[in-house]
């Protein structure tokens, strides 16, 4: 007896969270540490994407 696999559920699991980030729609969350940029005299906050783990820094 052949095994039947539901392709819709498999495709949804595989693409979950990756397609938005590749299109530029990251889900940023703030990291707890805050640093001070001496050259510009501003606070720097670090953010990480929940889905793909990419990090960025932002001047505040």
Give the separation between CA 49 and CA 29, rounded to whole angstroms: 6
CA 14, chain centre distance (Å): 16
Which tens digit of pLDDT belongs to each residue from 6-15? 766 666 555 5
pTM exceeds 0.85 for this model:
no
Tokens of residue 13, six digits: 């699991």
Give the separation between CA 25 and CA 43, rounded to whole angstroms: 25
Which tens digit of pLDDT belongs to each residue from 28-48? 998 877 787 778 888 888 899
């Amino acid at each position: 007896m052949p095994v039947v696999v539901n392709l819709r559920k498999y495709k949804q699991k595989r693409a979950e969270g990756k397609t938005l980030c590749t299109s530029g729609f990251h889900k940023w969350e703030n990291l707890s540490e805050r640093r001070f940029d001496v050259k510009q005299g501003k606070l720097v906050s670090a953010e990480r994407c929940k889905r793909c783990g990419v990090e960025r820094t932002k001047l505040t």
